[in-house]
Amino acid sequence: MQRRQFLGLLGATAATAVLGKAAQAGPKHFTGYPDSFGVLFDATRCIGCRRCEAGCNRVNHLPAPPRPFDDLSVLDTRRRTDARTFTVVNRYPTARGPVYRKNQCQHCLEPACASSCFVAAYAKTPQGAVIWDEKVCVGCRYCMIACPFDIPTFEYANPWSPKIMKCHLCHPHLTAGKLRVPGCVGACPTEALVYGRRADLIREARQRFHLFPGRYLDHIYGEHEMGGTNWLYISGVPFSQIGLREDLGVTPAPEFTSGALAAVPIIAAAWPALLLGIYAISQAKDKAARQEKREALTEALARAQAKCEAELAKVKAKAEADKKAAIEREVKKALEEAAKAQAAKEEGE
Amino acid sequence: MSGEHAPSTPVAADKASLLTPFNIVTGLIVFVGLILTLLRFTKGLAGVTNLSDNNPWGIWISFDLLCGVALAAGGYTTSAACYVFGLKRYHSAVRPAILTAFLGYALVVFALHYDVGRPWRLPYPIFYSPGPTSVLFEVGLCVFLYLNVLFLEWTPSALEWLGLKKWRNVMVKMTLALTIFGVVLSTMHQSSLGALFLIAPSKLHPLWYSSYLPVFFFISSIAAGLSMVIFEGTLSHRYLHDKMDEHYLSAHDQVHLGFGRGAAVVLVIYFFLKLVGLALDNTWHYLLTGYGAMYSLELLGFVALPALLYAVGVREKNLKIIRWAAVLTVLGIVLNRFNVSWFAFNWQLPAAERYFPSWMEVAVSIYIVTVGLLLFRFIATRMPIFHEHPDFKEAEPEEEPHAHETRPHPQSFGH
Amino acid sequence: MEFFTYHDFTMYTKGAAYVLMAVTLLGILGFWLFLTERDEDKLIK
Ligand code: SF4
Ligand code: SF4
């Protein structure tokens, strides 16, 4: 899919959702573009002449290397792709003597680089190549982190418009009709490189296994590695001895991250609901606490008042009683006095 | 942290002499930083960094991005504690935490301008050519949105400072929505920073590679956020004491006790999940290798130990222990991010091809931290960060939250 | 629509997921406002 299709597809999403025709849902197995092309590299045929490197350099107008391509002493050190070299051949000492292997982008069926790029600068073309678009690249270099084969390189010395540099399987030249096979393949003198439909190449490799017993290990590197690649290798020595990692597994790179990405919408949907719930609870608790406090206060007040009133009433009653008693006492006293006076008077008569 | 030796009264220093040790050191750092900036944009990344095709990410990612974002997690943890979980007594910690987070994220984005090849294209993933299959897209989108959220969360301080009361009240009303949105975004990108490395199982050492990576990054970011609040609070307390009001100072110790308790719990959860990670991938046997020693150091020395220290500190109400635990946790987070993105990344490469930063890369990182420190000091000495603006007191979690808004205001404003 | 690679498939589905996520967030906010509109003490004012 081309980068720019994405936004257009979003429109289609709505339509699909409405029609209920969930496109390709479920445990679908993707097998890649059916008629894509690739290259088969035969390590038993490679002689380490570096002509492929020269061919690549020529067709892509890359800068001339510090040492010319016919200087084979560069094979003494192990090299990797860099910003001026899309492909390198390395020599590996093995039990079967020196074995040479060409390295370049494997053009994965499920490219890690494309999956990791946050501006979708990469595209897997139906023809098989994994190509990169300069017009949108930000230069974050996450694709270099992601590529399990350490292929993409970066123009670190370019201050303003550094590019990601990597093999594009001559896609622009082939589609423009300038070349019929990739530059490296055309330059190879021993047919260690064969360009063709990936399905045909796999058949061809098996045929060689069959025709030359004992010459090859029964394994096509790239048939399943990292979900499969358009570049395929066959060899007489274990692939780990010629610099190809055998511990990569067969899981396509996008699957490593799709689970984590799938969890993201869960957060978007569940978190706000959860947090609002927690907020509501804490709010209600606060309110309840305040309410309780207020109620307790009024109750206490009422109780205090009641107590106060009772006290007052008691005091009042007592005062009343006292007063009454005092009056009675006074009356009694007065009466007694009066009686006494009466008696005294009577005695005096 | 380069400029911890600040004079105690920065404002007085402005008036007295500009040649304080603090000003000299920071001035020098900024000067070197500017020169390196020039170098970066004339000679390219090759002119200042040790980055290579095998090691495309260096400390500008390991430290500036991964540690920067993790250590700015105090913003969402504190505002969530205060506004969502209703722990109002942490209110005084919210503003410093939001300010730190805002500056932290702003600096992360600033630092990315040095690291990426064409910085002016940084808006591309969001506005021009989205790549939704990428974890980095998720990170970029969330960091962008969260930076805006943090800015909005911070505006009340600036608006109070400027005396724009009406706008300030509008912003305050959005607090809850912003807080929740902030937590959502933080959860997403904190975890996604870990998920960045999910795509490279063949390059990250099995002890650190785990499908739990996003969970680890998220949970540890909570511990980092809480610890950073304690750590910064301690530093600010020392150097910006005169800017703090009674309310801040009296709540200070309470906040640290509460956050210490929270961090202890989070660290214990994190510790056990890390073990589950080992169990799920059955990578125990690596513990006996050199990388295993590093892993054990990280897990025992910088997760288990601070968890224990926090617990002891909280039980004994000993703030000194809590502060040490905070320092250990912060260092542990830095170590973890370094391990995932640097020490244990590309472990399959021969030693000669491994990455080690150039002094210039380190200097640029120091320069960026210094700029952050200066901005923080500038803002915290002027705006109501560590104190409440006299006109905008939030004294009580009152029943009538808008009571003070209708109160006639003695000053007259421009609007 | 037919997809030949898992990468293209995810490009499409994850894009849709992001759009739905934005809709979800706004939707939840709206729904919450609708839900609490008649409450005496509103949570979001
Ligand atoms: S080899 Fe690397 S650069 Fe080439 S397609 Fe695969 S992941 Fe991309
Ligand atoms: S460096 Fe360019 S191509 Fe590579 S992931 Fe970043 S934006 Fe995409």
- ipTM field: 0.86
Give the predicted TM-score (pTM) of the model.
Answer: 0.84
**Ligand 1 pocket, residues with Cβ under 6 angstroms:** A 105-108, 111-113, 130, 147, 149, 151-152, 166
- Taking the CA of residue B140 and the nearest CA in chain A, the distance in Å comes to 8
C43/B173 CB distance under 8 A: no
Q: What is the CA radius of gyration of chain C?
A: 18
C43/B130 CB distance under 8 A: no
Instruction: Sheet with A231-234: list strands edge to edge.
Output: A193-197, A37-42, A231-234
Q: Is B148 helix (H, G, I), strand (E, B) or coil?
A: helix
Chain B residues within 8 Å of chain C (Cβ atoms): 130-133, 141, 173, 176-177, 181, 184
Which of the 8 DSSP states describes residue B345?
A: B
Reference B72, options B263, B232, B255, B225; nearest CA is B225
Give the whole-angstrom CA distance, residue A4 versus residue B404: 53
- Is A204's pLDDT higher than 90? yes
- The pLDDT of residue B397 is 40
The atom of ligand 2 lying closest to the CA of B136 is 5
**Residues on chain A touching C7 (C-beta within 8 angstroms):** 1, 110-111, 114-115, 124, 252, 254
Instruction: Give Cβ neighbours of residue B200 (< 8 Å, ≥ 6 apart).
Output: A112, A145, A146, A148, B345
Tokens of A222: 């790239």
For chain C, give the number of residues: 45
CA distances from A157 to A83, A199, B111, B222 (A): 10, 40, 19, 39
**Residues on chain B touching A263 (C-beta within 8 angstroms):** 191, 214
Reference B322, options B273, B264, B368, B408; nearest CA is B264
**CB neighbour burial string for B186-208, b if at least 16 within 10 angstroms, e if fewer:** bbbbbbbbbbbbbbbbbbbbbbb
Which residues partner with A88 through β-bridges?
A103
Give the whole-angstrom CA distance, residue A14 versus residue B414: 48
User: Do residues B353 and B296 make contact, with C-beta atoms less than 8 angstroms apart?
Assistant: no
Give the whole-angstrom CA distance, residue B214 versus residue B146: 18
Question: From the CA of A229, which ligand is nearest?
Answer: 1
Tokens of B63: 């430290």
Q: Compute the average pLDDT of residues A68-94.
A: 91
**CB neighbour burial string for A130-149, b if at least 16 within 10 angstroms, e if fewer:** bbbbeebbbbbbbbbbbbbb
Question: Going along B97-246, which residue ranges are E strands?
Answer: none
C44/B181 CB distance under 8 A: no
Residue at token pair 């909005």: B152
- The pLDDT of residue B414 is 34
Reference B223, options B268, B168, B274, B267; nearest CA is B267
User: Do residues B209 and B347 make contact, with C-beta atoms less than 8 angstroms apart?
Assistant: no
Q: How much of chain A, in percent, has pLDDT values that exceed 70?
A: 91
Candidate of A87, A130, A165 to mutate for ligand 1, largest count of ligand atoms within 8 Å of Cβ: A130
**Residues on chain A touching C9 (C-beta within 8 angstroms):** 24, 28, 30
Which of A24, A31, A115 lies closest to C7 in CB terms?
A: A115
Q: Which of A260-274, A333-347, B54-68 is the least confident region?
A: A333-347
Reference A23, options B95, B233, C12; nearest CA is C12
Which of A10, A124, A272 lies closest to C7 in CB terms?
A: A124
Q: Compute the average pLDDT of residues A144-166.
A: 94
Which of C18, C25, C44 lies closest to B176 in CB terms?
A: C44
Q: Compute the average pLDDT of residues C11-38.
A: 87
Note which residues in 208-237 of chain A have CB less than 8 A from chain C.
227
Structural element, H or E, at residue A318: helix A254-348
Give the whole-angstrom CA distance, residue A290 versus residue B283: 53
> How wide is the angle at C-alpha B38 spanned by C-alphas B33 and B42, nearest 5°?
145
Which subunits count as partners of chain A given 3+ CB pairs below 8 Å? Answer: B, C
The atom of ligand 2 lying closest to the CA of A116 is 5
Reference A113, options A139, A83, A148; nearest CA is A148
Give the whole-angstrom CA distance, residue A138 versus residue A3: 14
Question: Going along B43-162, which residue ranges are E strands?
Answer: none
Higher-pLDDT residue of A197, A6: A197
A136/B129 CB distance under 8 A: yes
Structural element, H or E, at residue A92: strand A88-94
Q: Which of A121-130, A138-147, B14-23, B312-321 is the least confident region?
A: B14-23
Question: From the CA of A120, which ligand is nearest?
Answer: 2
Spacing of C-alpha C35 from chain mean position: 17
Q: Is A221 helix (H, G, I), strand (E, B) or coil?
A: strand
**Residues on chain C touching A113 (C-beta within 8 angstroms):** none
- The pLDDT of residue B401 is 39
Residue at token pair 């035969």: A42
| Per-state percent for chain C, helix, strand, coil, to nearest 5 | 65, 0, 35
Spacing of C-alpha B21 from chain mean position: 26
- The pLDDT of residue B16 is 54
Q: Please give the interface size between A and C, counted as residue pairs whose CB atoms are below 8 Å apart.
A: 90
Which of the 8 DSSP states describes residue A271?
A: H
User: Do residues B306 and B335 make contact, with C-beta atoms less than 8 angstroms apart?
Assistant: no
Candidate of A41, A113, A225 to mutate for ligand 1, largest count of ligand atoms within 8 Å of Cβ: A113
**Residues on chain B touching C11 (C-beta within 8 angstroms):** 131-133
Q: Please give the interface size between A and B, counted as residue pairs whose CB atoms are below 8 Å apart.
A: 201
C29/B173 CB distance under 8 A: no
Note which residues in 244-263 of chain A have CB less than 8 A from chain C.
252, 254-255, 258, 261-262
Note which residues in 259-288 of chain A have CB less than 8 A from chain B.
259-261, 263-264, 267-268, 271-272, 275-276, 278-279, 282-283, 285-286
Tokens of B162: 């400027």
- Is A67's pLDDT higher than 80? yes
Which of the 8 DSSP states describes residue B248?
A: H
pLDDT by position in tens, chain B (length 415):
343 444 444 444 444 567 788 888 999 999 999 999 999 999 999 999 999 999 999 999 999 999 999 999 999 999 998 888 878 777 888 888 898 899 999 999 999 999 999 999 999 999 999 999 999 999 999 999 999 999 998 888 888 888 888 888 888 888 888 899 999 999 999 999 999 999 999 999 999 999 999 999 999 999 999 999 999 888 887 777 777 777 777 777 888 888 999 999 999 999 999 999 999 999 999 999 999 999 999 999 999 999 999 999 999 988 899 999 999 999 999 999 999 999 999 999 998 889 999 999 999 999 999 999 899 888 888 888 887 777 776 544 433 334 333 333 333 333 3
The atom of ligand 2 lying closest to the CA of A139 is 1
Structural element, H or E, at residue A90: strand A88-94
User: Do residues A127 and A170 make contact, with C-beta atoms less than 8 angstroms apart?
Assistant: no
Around Cβ B52, how many Cβ atoms within 10 Å?
18
Q: How do strand A231-234 and strand A37-42 relate by DSSP bridges? A: parallel
Burial of A191 (0-12, 13-18, 19+ CB in 10 A): exposed
3-state secondary structure B121-140: HCCHHHHCCCCCCCHHHHHH
User: Do residues B20 and B13 make contact, with C-beta atoms less than 8 angstroms apart?
Assistant: yes
Question: Going along A104-259, which residue ranges are E strands?
Answer: 122-124, 130-132, 153-154, 164-165, 193-197, 231-234
pLDDT digits (tens, 9 = 90+) for B158-201: 888 888 888 888 888 888 888 999 999 999 999 999 999 999 99
- Taking the CA of residue C35 and the nearest CA in chain A, the distance in Å comes to 12
3-state secondary structure B286-312: HHHCHHHHHHHHHHHHHHHHHHHHHHH
User: Do residues B269 and B226 make contact, with C-beta atoms less than 8 angstroms apart?
Assistant: no
- Taking the CA of residue A176 and the nearest CA in chain C, the distance in Å comes to 24
Mean pLDDT of chain A: 87
Please, what is the angle between helix B246-281 and helix B91-115, to 10°? Answer: 60
Instruction: Give Cβ neighbours of residue A33 (< 8 Å, ≥ 6 apart).
Output: A124, A125, A126, A127, A128, C4, C5
Note which residues in 1-40 of chain C have CB less than 8 A from chain A.
1-12, 14-17, 19-21, 24-25, 28-29, 32
**Residues on chain A touching C35 (C-beta within 8 angstroms):** none
From the CA of B137, how far away is ligand 2's center (Å)?
Answer: 11
Which subunits count as partners of chain B given 3+ CB pairs below 8 Å? Answer: A, C
Give the whole-angstrom CA distance, residue A80 versus residue B247: 62
- Is A106's pLDDT higher than 50? yes
> How wide is the angle at C-alpha B195 spanned by C-alphas B194 and B196, nearest 5°?
90
